[in-house]
Amino acid sequence: MSFSAPLLTLLGLSLLTAPTAAQQDPVADFCRRFGHQTAVVDDKLFIDGGLVNWNPFSSFPSNYTNTWLLYQDLSTTASSGMPPLYANLSKNGSIPNVSGGSLWSDSVNKRLYLFGGEHNLGEPPLPFNLYGYDILNNQWDSFGPSRTGASISKVSYGAGVSVDSRGEAYYYGGWLSNSSVPQWGTGPPVATTGLVKYTMDTNSFANNTGWVESHLSMHDPDRG
């Protein structure tokens, strides 16, 4: 059997790139992941986004954007003694991959909400938008900006929590920077003092803005 030169070239390239693809395994390199967002719904721990140092570090020395949404089934245990980890959930290119955000859980409607977070170096930040993941249908949706006119900034590395029984979620503090706010410029990151409340049933936000945020409108084009 003979092969043409182009076919041999493609075969050679595939052999060269195969080890790299195999090394970038979100399950095998799970412990090299950090800065991600997590939430629990129905005994499933969902892990989204963040950064990762692929193995081996000598070949992948940077902090790379993690594009996977994984989950662990907390109701079962694998032979390793840990809940099994799965990487078969969808996440299309229209959904941002961020670190330091919050993944709010809605166990009543079987949803996750992705709030805030910052982009990796070299990736331009997007304007504020709330994204939701429909667990039952394995699909993402965009819920857009705040419907109530509340001034919501895209912050990162604050404190987030959801109260499923009340259909509410909160995010306190966090940082504004050129990794999270469009047109921020070259200024340093600034810590915020705001408390954001999200009501799931009405898809509405309320912002209890602190002193620092109220004096930063020059950096955020979304502010009135």
Domain membership flag for residue 148: yes
pLDDT at 18: 32
Least confident segment among 1-10, 54-63, 174-183: 1-10
| Predicted model pTM | 0.78
Q: Are 135 and 89 in contact (CB under 8 A)?
A: no
Q: Are 30 and 82 in contact (CB under 8 A)?
A: no
- Do the strands 51-52 and 168-172 form a parallel or antiparallel pair, or are they unpaired? unpaired
- Per-residue pLDDT, averaged over 87-104, amounts to 92
Domain membership flag for residue 161: yes
Domain membership flag for residue 166: yes
Sheet holding 51-52: strands in order across?
Answer: 33-34, 51-52, 64-65
Domain membership flag for residue 180: yes
If pLDDT is split at 50, 70 and 90, which confidence band does 15 have? very low
- Residue with the larger pLDDT of the pair 10 and 149: 149
Domain membership flag for residue 8: no
Give residue 158's Cα distance to chain centre: 14
**pLDDT tens track for 109-161:** 999 999 999 998 778 888 889 999 999 999 999 998 877 767 788 999 999 99
Domain membership flag for residue 19: no
Q: Are 198 and 104 in contact (CB under 8 A)?
A: yes
Question: In total, how many domains does the chain have?
Answer: 1
- The CATH number covering residue 176 comes to 2.120.10.80
pLDDT at 63: 80
**pLDDT tens track for 199-214:** 999 999 998 865 444 4
Domain membership flag for residue 145: yes
The chain-wide mean pLDDT, for the chain, equals 81
* Structural domain boundaries enclosing 89: 26-219
Domain membership flag for residue 12: no
Tokens, residue 7? 């076919």
Residue 70, amino acid:
L
Q: Please name the helix (run of DSSP H) or strand (run of DSSP E) that holds residue 11, with its range, or none.
A: helix 5-23
